[in-house]
């Protein structure tokens, strides 16, 4: 049955239109990458056919030698990239080259600013693709026939990259896809054999298929094989240059920013596999979309099996790109089989270790690169502290923080750095949780610690309240939340205990507690404060206020809990409170002291109008005497 159809003109999805304009504008200085993208797609198509042919060998027809042919014609100003891979049906063609199926694309495009440099780096996170052809071409033609369909079921797609494309039936003899670029007048450099040859070698030397180049005007000339056609990861490490690794990463990830590091390993013995893992230079745009495809590219004995094989690395390492090529897994391995494979667990923990070692090596040898990495993807390692008990120590030493010692707002201090500055007798690592760095930096909770020269980690990322619950110990030191419970600081000479100080001020504490009984659990004399009159702290058993606020914002009902109010007995405002004989003023001032302590900690007052009234009343009252 033949299912030819009329020529149809269709509109690109809005996102495609935006992406096209953006690419042309912001990637012009990197324009030659279009060739890498087309070669990458062609090689993927060959990989996919080889995989499908494992179950259906007839798909290979009488043409089993998978390869990529690149032809240029200076007279017609055309450059064609042809593969004999899987090809596309009409519906696949319309879906693949008319829409962008990735979720989050619209939000991604909204972030574009119009500034070339900024946008170019964002596109790096998104991954450029087929549409980059329009950087150099004013018309692109795709002719394709899916493996298994007949010649008259071929399809031709044409577009000038301006909002619409046409599709029509076409008689296509050869299986696979040919992408023909009608180059803009300014792009004749891509019609020079020497230039093309060096570009193609750069972009394809590491893929496992031959790439041939031919000048269409020279009838007699044989197509010339340009690349070495050996998959990069199968070669020995010592034969591969840094540039080759970088190119391979870009080919794999569609990124055009260099990776920050890589780790290439061959495992032999009980299990045999090769892995090549990369740390990207920019976080992928959908890093925070937990549904987005992620994982390694899986090969079995050099045959491509699947993209985004998620099971080889834990979710918190989802920023890692790479390849794993197993000698033991069956060629017909599916995602389901993979999940239950006895090989998987061992490979997963070995690859996780490798990835963490690679990060550790980078932190040690190239602090600048590690800082870049931390800024882009560091937050995901915090998920690891929560999720991966086994590697917790390694992960903790990879964390970076802003501390009271930091000179900038950057998260640039490690726990090792922190401990190297610990004071004599300090057996704790102190941290403060807060909703923002600004609130943290001016928190009253820090005062006494800073006066004693004790450094505090300032934690203000969304995941931090969860992470701290999994901190355990680090190098034998436990962690102490400076906003919670009793604060045990290294004892100074002649300092009094909390109990003794409370005892000394019992009448005042009792009087305040009576006023604030519905709002606080207890009132204590504080050992944390120097400059502020009061602060609120959480009991050991309670949720931190940050976690409580987040859970409440997500709609959870939580049992009511009251903070402890701590007062600075030496502060003039507290002295005034203590000397206050007018009950009404005492009541107002006690409430105001608590309100201010809550505000300083980033909380919202339950009843702001009450506060304002109290404050006004109090101010007028003291003025009146
Ligand atoms: P990506 O390759 O990142 O998925 P592209 O925009 O480059 O994005 O391509 C979109 C899709 O079009 C590909 O995922 C693939 O399904 C299809 N495609 C592109 N080029 C080819 C080709 N030469 N052969 C078969 N399918 C292709």
- d(CA 92, ligand 1 centre) in Å: 10
The 3-state secondary structure of 288-350, one letter per residue? CCCCCCCCEEEEECCEEEEEEEHHHCCHHHCCCEEEEEECCCCCCCCHHHHHCCHHHHHHHHH
Query: What spacing in Å lies between the alpha carbon of 603 and ligand 1's midpoint?
Result: 50
Distance in Å, CA 96 to ligand 1 centroid: 6
| Burial per residue of 167-202, b for 16 or more beta-carbon CB atoms within 10 angstroms, e otherwise | bbbbebebbbbbbbbbbbeebeebbeeeebeebbeb
Mutational test site, ligand 1, from 34, 103, 130, max ligand atoms within 8 Å of CB: 130
**So what's the pLDDT on residue 1?**
47
Distance (angstroms) between ligand 1 centre and the Cα of 41 equals 5
Nearest to 501 by CA among 565, 569, 573: 569
What is the value of pTM for the model shown? 0.83
Tokens of 53: 């042919």
Which residue, judged by its Cα, is nearest atom 9 of ligand 1?
130
547-551 contact pairs (CB < 8 A, 24+): 547/465, 547/466, 549/435, 549/603, 550/462, 550/465
Cα–Cα distance for residue pair 500/531, rounded to 1 Å: 22
User: In this structure, which topology does domain 498-624 adopt according to CATH?
Assistant: 1.20.120
The pair phi, psi for residue 72, each rounded to 5°, is: -125, 150
Q: Where in the chain are the domains?
A: 8-227, 233-374, 400-481, 498-624
Chain center to CA of 137: 33
- CB of 98 within 6 A of ligand 1: the answer is no
- Cα of 16 vs centre of ligand 1, distance in Å, is 14
Question: How big is the CA angle at 98 (ends 97 and 103), to the nearest 5 degrees?
Answer: 95
The conformational region for residue 87 under phi > 0 = left, psi -120 to 50 = alpha, else beta, is left
Backbone angles phi, psi at 76, to 5 degrees: -85, -5
Ligand 1 mean position to 83 CA, how many Å? 12
User: Does the domain spanning 233-374 belong to CATH 3.40.50.1100?
Assistant: no
Neighbours of 103 (CB within 10 A): 13
Q: What is the DSSP letter of 30?
A: G
Kindly write down the DSSP assignment for every residue of 544-612, as one continuous string.
Answer: PHHHHHHHHHTT-------PEEEE-TTSHHHHHHHH---HHHHHHHHHHHHHHHHHHTTPPPS-HHHHH
| CA of 48, closest atom in ligand 1 | 25
At the top level of CATH, the class of 8-227 is: alpha beta
How far is Cα 375 from Cα 594, in angstroms, rounded to an integer?
37
> Residue 525 in contact with residue 465, Cβ under 8 Å?
no
Alpha helices in 388-420 (DSSP H): 392-398, 415-420
Q: Best substitution site from 38, 39, 41 to test ligand 1's pocket, by max atoms within 8 Å of Cβ?
A: 41
pLDDT of residue 524: 94
Q: Let me know: does 104 contact 286? Beta carbons within 8 Å.
A: yes
CA distance 20 to 561: 54
Q: Of the residues 96, 101, 108, 143, which should be mutated to test ligand 1's pocket, given the most ligand atoms within 8 Å of the CB? A: 96
Residue 103: the pLDDT is: 78
- What tokens were used for 415? 């726990």
Cα separation values, 530 from 412, 432, 450, 480, Å? 28, 17, 9, 19
Q: Is 159 helix (H, G, I), strand (E, B) or coil?
A: strand
Q: What is the CA radius of gyration of the chain?
A: 32
Q: Decide: 102 in ligand 1 pocket, CB within 6 A.
A: no
The SS3 call for residue 267 is strand
DSSP-H helix ranges across 411-526: 415-420, 437-441, 447-451, 464-468, 498-504, 506-515
CA–CA separation, 570 and 202 (whole Å): 72
pLDDT of residue 625: 62
Cβ of 146 below 6 Å from ligand 1: no
Cβ(253) – ligand 1 distance below 6 Å: no
With a 6 Å cutoff on the Cβ, whether 47 touches ligand 1 is: no
Token readout for 123 is: 């596109």
Q: 481, exposed or middle or buried, with CB in 10 Å at 0-12, 13-18, 19+? A: buried
Q: What pLDDT does 331 receive? A: 84
Q: How far apart are CA 88 and CA 45, in angstroms?
A: 9
- Tell how strand 154-159 and strand 164-170 pair up: antiparallel
Contact 152, 171 (CB under 8 A): yes
Ligand 1 contact, 129 CB (< 6 A): yes
Q: Give residue 472's Cα distance to chain centre.
A: 25
Residues (pLDDT < 50) of the chain are 1
- For ligand 1, is residue 484 a contact (CB within 6 Å)? no
Q: Which class does domain 400-481 fall in?
A: alpha beta
Q: Measured at the alpha carbon of residue 108, what is the angle toward residues 107 and 110, in degrees to the nearest 5?
A: 65
């Amino acid at each position: 049955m033949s299912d030819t159809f009329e020529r149809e003109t269709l509109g690109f999805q809005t996102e495609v239109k935006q992406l096209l304009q953006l690419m042309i504008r912001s990637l012009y200085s990197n324009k030659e990458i279009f060739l890498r993208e087309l070669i990458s797609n062609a090689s993927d198509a060959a990989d996919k056919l080889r995989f499908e042919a494992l179950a259906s060998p007839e798909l290979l027809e009488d043409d089993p030698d998978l390869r990529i042919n690149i032809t240029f014609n200076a007279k017609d100003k055309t450059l064609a990239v042809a593969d004999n891979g899987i090809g596309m049906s009409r519906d696949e063609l319309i879906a693949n080259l008319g829409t962008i199926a990735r979720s989050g694309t619209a939000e991604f495009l909204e972030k574009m600013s119009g500034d070339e440099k900024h946008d170019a780096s964002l596109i790096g996170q998104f991954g450029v693709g087929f549409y980059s052809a329009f950087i150099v071409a004013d018309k692109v033609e795709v002719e394709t026939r899916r493996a298994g369909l007949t010649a008259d079921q071929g399809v031709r797609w044409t577009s000038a990259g301006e909002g619409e494309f046409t599709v029509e039936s076409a008689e296509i003899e050869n299986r696979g896809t040919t992408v023909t670029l009608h180059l803009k007048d300014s792009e004749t450099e891509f019609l020079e054999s020497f230039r093309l040859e060096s570009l193609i070698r750069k972009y394809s030397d590491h893929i496992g298929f031959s790439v041939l180049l031919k000048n269409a005007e020279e009838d007699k000339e044989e197509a010339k094989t340009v690349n070495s056609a050996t998959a990069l990861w199968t070669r020995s490490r010592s034969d591969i240059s840094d540039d080759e690794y970088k190119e391979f990463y870009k080919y794999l990830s569609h990124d055009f920013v260099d990776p920050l590091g890589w780790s290439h390993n061959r495992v032999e013995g009980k299990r045999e596999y090769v892995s090549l893992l990369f740390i990207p230079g920019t976080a992928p745009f959908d890093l925070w979309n937990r549904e987005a495809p992620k994982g390694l590219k899986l090969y079995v004995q050099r045959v491509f099996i699947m993209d985004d094989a998620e099971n080889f690395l834990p979710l918190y390492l989802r920023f890692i790109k790479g390849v794993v090529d197993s000698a033991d897994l069956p060629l017909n391995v599916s995602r389901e089989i993979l999940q239950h494979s006895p090989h998987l667990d061992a490979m997963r923990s070995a690859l996780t270790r490798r990835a963490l070692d690679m990060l550790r090596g980078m932190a040690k040898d190239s602090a600048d690169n590690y800082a870049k990495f931390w800024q882009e993807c560091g937050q995901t390692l915090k998920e690891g502290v929560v999720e991966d008990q086994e590697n917790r120590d390694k992960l903790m030493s990879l964390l970076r923080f802003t501390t009271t010692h930091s000179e900038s707002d950057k998260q640039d201090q490690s726990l090792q750095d922190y401990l190297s500055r610990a004071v004599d007798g300090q057996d704790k690592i102190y941290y403060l949780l807060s909703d923002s760095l600004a609130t943290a930096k001016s928190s009253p909770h820090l005062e006494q610690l800073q006066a004693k020269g004790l450094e505090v980690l300032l934690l203000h990322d969304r995941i931090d309240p969860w992470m701290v619950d999994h901190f355990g110990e680090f190098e034998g030191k436990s962690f102490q939340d400076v906003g919670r419970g009793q604060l045990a600081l290294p004892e100074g000479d002649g300092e009094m205990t909390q109990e003794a100080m409370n005892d000394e001020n019992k009448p005042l504490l009792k009087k305040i507690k009576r006023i604030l009984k519905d709002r606080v659990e207890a009132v204590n004399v504080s050992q944390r404060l120097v400059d502020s009159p009061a602060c609120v702290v959480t009991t050991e058993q309670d949720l931190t206020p940050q976690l409580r606020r987040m859970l409440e914002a997500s709609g959870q009902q939580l049992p009511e809990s009251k903070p402890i109010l701590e007062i600075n007995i030496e502060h003039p405002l507290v002295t005034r409170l203590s000397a206050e004989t007018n009950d009404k003023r005492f009541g107002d001032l006690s409430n105001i002291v608590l309100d201010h302590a809550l505000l300083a900690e980033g909380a919202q007052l339950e009843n702001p109008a009450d506060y304002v009234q109290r404050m006004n009343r109090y101010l007028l009252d003291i003025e009146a005497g």
